[in-house]
């Protein structure tokens, strides 16, 4: 198998080495967004296959890993679009038992109030243990909540783009994101900031 076009320079690789060089990074990227190890591995495998088919179009303008991540990102977006069409709007969007009453009183105020997390957010995202907990919390959300949250808060997509991907209105997206953020915050407060892990 020949080298990728434009990659025959020091530090580059043969496609046969992609799994060893980039596999773990790609799976972690997918896991943070999907929360499903089997699905993540499947999409990474699809990414490698797509990259093999498109290797002649890669000119080396970015790093090989950045190119592969870009392909994987499109695979994940395609998955979101497919799932967005399959899930009726509103289904699975409610909060856990007790609904919003779990978090708020009758006046709409927090019952307990969000805890002050403190610290440096960038430093937190540098911790593998914290990212692993974020992944677990995302996997606990319903598919539409998880997809909306990761597209907005992790990938930084604009609302209009997310609405297209998920097939929802901007008003519905606001509600979905609000609920997803509340559940993510509560999950992290319980499993990270409220425990010994948050003191690391």
155: tokens are: 């990938």
Domains 15-86 and 99-199 share a fold: no
- Write down the pLDDT at residue 2: 30
53-93 pLDDT, tens per residue? 988 888 777 889 999 999 999 999 999 888 866 665 554 44
pTM of the model: 0.66
What CATH code is assigned to 15-86?
1.10.1740
Give the distance from CA 17 to its chain's centroid. 25
Considering only CA atoms, give the Rg of the chain: 19
Q: Please report which confidence band the pLDDT of residue 24 belongs to, taking 50, 70 and 90 as the band edges.
A: very high
CA torsion 101-102-105-106 (nearest 10°) is 10
d(CA 21, CA 13): 8
Domain coordinates of the chain in residue numbers? 15-86, 99-199
CATH 1.10.10.10 corresponds to the domain 99-199: yes
d(CA 36, CA 135): 9
Q: Where are the beta strands (DSSP E) in 40-185?
A: none
121: tokens are: 């957010």
Q: Is the pLDDT of residue 43 over 90?
A: yes
- Write down the pLDDT at residue 57: 80
Q: What is the distance between the terminal CA atoms of the chain, rounded to a whole angstrom? A: 46
- Write down the pLDDT at residue 79: 92
105-140 pLDDT, tens per residue? 555 555 555 455 455 555 666 677 888 888 889 988
């Amino acid at each position: 198998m020949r080298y990728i076009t434009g990659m025959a320079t020091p530090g580059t690789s043969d496609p046969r080495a992609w799994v060893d060089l980039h596999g773990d990074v790609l799976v972690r990227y997918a896991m943070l967004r999907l929360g499903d190890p089997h699905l993540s591995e499947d999409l990474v495998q699809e990414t490698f296959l797509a990259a093999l088919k498109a290797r002649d179009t890669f000119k080396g303008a970015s790093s090989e890993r950045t190119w592969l991540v870009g392909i994987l990102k499109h695979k994940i977006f395609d998955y979101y679009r497919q799932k967005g069409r399959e899930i009726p709007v509103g289904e699975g969007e409610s909060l856990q038992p007790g609904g919003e009453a779990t978090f708020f009183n009758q006046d709409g105020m927090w019952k307990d109030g969000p805890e002050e997390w403190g610290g440096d957010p960038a430093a937190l995202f540098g911790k593998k243990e914290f990212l692993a907990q974020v992944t677990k919390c995302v996997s606990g959300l319903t598919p539409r909540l998880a997809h909306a949250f990761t597209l907005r808060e992790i990938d930084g997509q604009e609302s209009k783009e997310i609405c297209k991907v998920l097939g929802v209105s901007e008003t519905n997206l606001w509600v979905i994101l609000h609920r997803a953020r509340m559940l993510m915050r509560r999950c992290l407060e319980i499993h990270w900031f409220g425990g010994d892990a948050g003191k690391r």
